[in-house]
Amino acid sequence: MSRRSLFFTGERSVEVRDRPVPEPEAGEVLVRTERTAMSPGTELLVYRGEVSAGAAADETIEALDGEFSYPLQYGYAAVGRVAETGADVGEEWLDRRVFAFNPHESHFTADPEALVPTTLAPERALFVPTVEAAVNFVMDARPRIGSRVVVFGQGSIGLATTALLAEFPLAELVTVDYDEKRRAVSESFGADRAVSPDAVDSVLSEPADVSLELSGNPEALGDAIDVAGFAGRVIVGSWYGTKDVSLRLDEQYHRSHVRVRSSQVSRIDPDHADRWDKRRRMEYVTSWLADADLSPVLTHEFEIGDAKRAYRVVDERRDGVIQAAFRYDR
């Protein structure tokens, strides 16, 4: 038996390679993958060749401890069952469903401490990193009672962020996206209004207290700053890769006292670190996912052998795609 592993081999080039199934070491388990989710953000940058060569992938995740240089494996949303345990791992791990921050492949070994045991169905568990990122953005945004909030970008992370924000007693929650289908899902998740980028100014009754830029489009960052009111907060969750960002920082900006803050899920903001750690955040994520229905977000599933077509569909945003996942049926 062999495992199938997806490799990014160049700009807009992927291939699935057959490799030996690894044997777990004494303190490891072997996981047989059921589903992996395709990241519509960083992963597309890797696919498009829009990541600076040699940059660190993610030193906080053991499976991604490397550099962005082809060929490479990438991905960080794998759900599967433990198929085999090493000599020093208890048998209670056998057949347990787990989530792992691991690239796209049909089998992988891992330290049990790096896994998240779950009773969620694979289609829900796939959203663990999506919701973890969304929770991080909302924590950094710090919405207050009666706040006016605008979210730019309604891909999978933007929609999860909208669903979380909709639980707050906000005065107004407006979302922004070019895609009509995504706007409709956004409103079903609790947005008061979902509009195209060219309509933002006409629908906002007042400047925003908080705006979040989650679209991955550098042009949206300027819009997110422009809609913020005096001393408003702008949370930048997008990573633009090698794309240039151009901002108009005129006298209006300098007099506005707008706070522009980066937000990234790998580390807890020091402002929260005295009360929160990744374990506590993950416990909240899995608890929230048990009750949330994100099924409208998972629009496409592909068998891993069909990876080339899958990336073309997601890259070109065809067929109403929002979130795509790979199956491992054999």
Q: Is 194 left (phi over 0), alpha (psi -120 to 50) or beta?
A: beta
Q: What is the pLDDT of residue 158?
A: 97
**How confident is the model over 5-25, as a mean pLDDT?**
96
6 closest CA partner among 81, 80, 72, 58? 72
More confident residue, 308 or 204: 308
Distance CA 180, CA 223 (A): 19
**pLDDT tens digits for 149-174?**
999 999 999 999 999 999 999 999 99
Q: How far is CA 252 from the centre of its chain?
A: 33
Q: What is the pLDDT of residue 58?
A: 55
The terminus-to-terminus CA distance of the chain in angstroms comes to: 10
The SS3 assignment for 282 reads helix
The percentage of the chain sitting over the pLDDT mark of 70, rounded to a whole number, equals 95
**pLDDT tens digits for 90-133?**
999 999 999 999 999 999 999 999 999 999 999 999 999 999 99
**Per-position DSSP letters for 175-228, written without gaps between them:** EE-S-HHHHHHHHHTT-SEEE-GGGHHHH-SS-EEEEEE-SS-HHHHHHHHHHE
**How confident is the model over 181-197, as a mean pLDDT?**
97
Cis peptide leading into residue 129 (ω within 30°): no
Q: What is the pLDDT of residue 64?
A: 53
Least confident of 36-40, 55-59, 172-176, 319-323: 55-59
Q: What is the pLDDT of residue 249?
A: 83
More confident residue, 250 or 59: 250
